[in-house]
Structure 1
Amino acid sequence: LSYGKDERENNAGFAQWQADYGRIDYALGWRHDSNEQFGSSDTRNAAAGLDLPMGMKLIASYGEGFNAPTFNDLYYPGYGNPNLEPESSKNRELELRGKHAWGQWSVNYFINDVDKLIQYNPATFGPDQIESARIEGLELSLATVVRQWHIEANATLLDTEDKNSGKELRRRADSQVNIDVDRQWQQWGVNASVRLTSDRYENTSNTDELPGYGLVDAGVSYQINDSLKLQLLVKNLFDKDYVSARHFSLGNYESIGREALLSVTYAP
Structure 2
Amino acid sequence: MPVSGNGPPADFRPASTRRMNLVEHEEECLDMRPLTLTFRVPEVEGAYLAEVAKSRLPVLMFIFCFDCACYVFRLLARLYQIGGLPTGQTTLLAAIMDIAKDMGPQLANMGLLYIFIGLLNRRSRTHGDSAARQEEMLLSTCMAIAICNLLASLGPENSQDYVYVAFFLVCTSSFLKIRWWVGTLIMATPTVLANFWKRGQRLEILPADAVVHIMVAWAVGGLMAYLAEWNRRQVFSSQRRAQAAHEKELLEAQARIRVQRQLAAAQAQ
TM-score category, normalised to shorter length: under 0.3
Greater gyration radius:
2
Structure whose residues are more often helix by fraction: 2
Q: TM-score, normalised by structure 2?
A: 0.24
- Considering Cα pairs closer than 8 Å and 6+ residues apart, tell me whether 1 or 2 has the greater RCO: 2
Structure whose residues are more often strand by fraction: 1
